[in-house]
Amino acid sequence: MAAATATRVLTAPVDLDRPGHYVHWGVIQISVANLVVIGLMVVVFVAALLLPFPRGKRDDE
């Protein structure tokens, strides 16, 4: 039971022993994995621009 739970937790969410999925758009071909990474980078970039930066107390305040 515990071993089965550990196996389920440690198993990769995506089966890496099978060929990857690809999207095709004209001459452009990209793996879904790379597309997801690029999407996450864009999300982080936009978040870095929009999220407020925590300000510590300054001596002159």
Among 18, 48, 57, 61, binds another protein (CB under 8 A): 48
- Looking up tokens 């999407």 gives 39
Among 3, 8, 51, 61, binds another protein (CB under 8 A): 51
Torsion, Cα 17 21 22 23, to 10 degrees, reads: -170
As a whole number of angstroms, the distance between CA 23 and CA 32 comes to: 7
Give the contact letters, 10-39, x = binds to another protein (CB under 8 A), - = no: ---------------------------x--
Helix/strand/coil for 26 = coil
The residues that touch another protein, with contacts defined as CB under 8 A, are 37, 40-41, 44-45, 47-49, 51, 53, 55
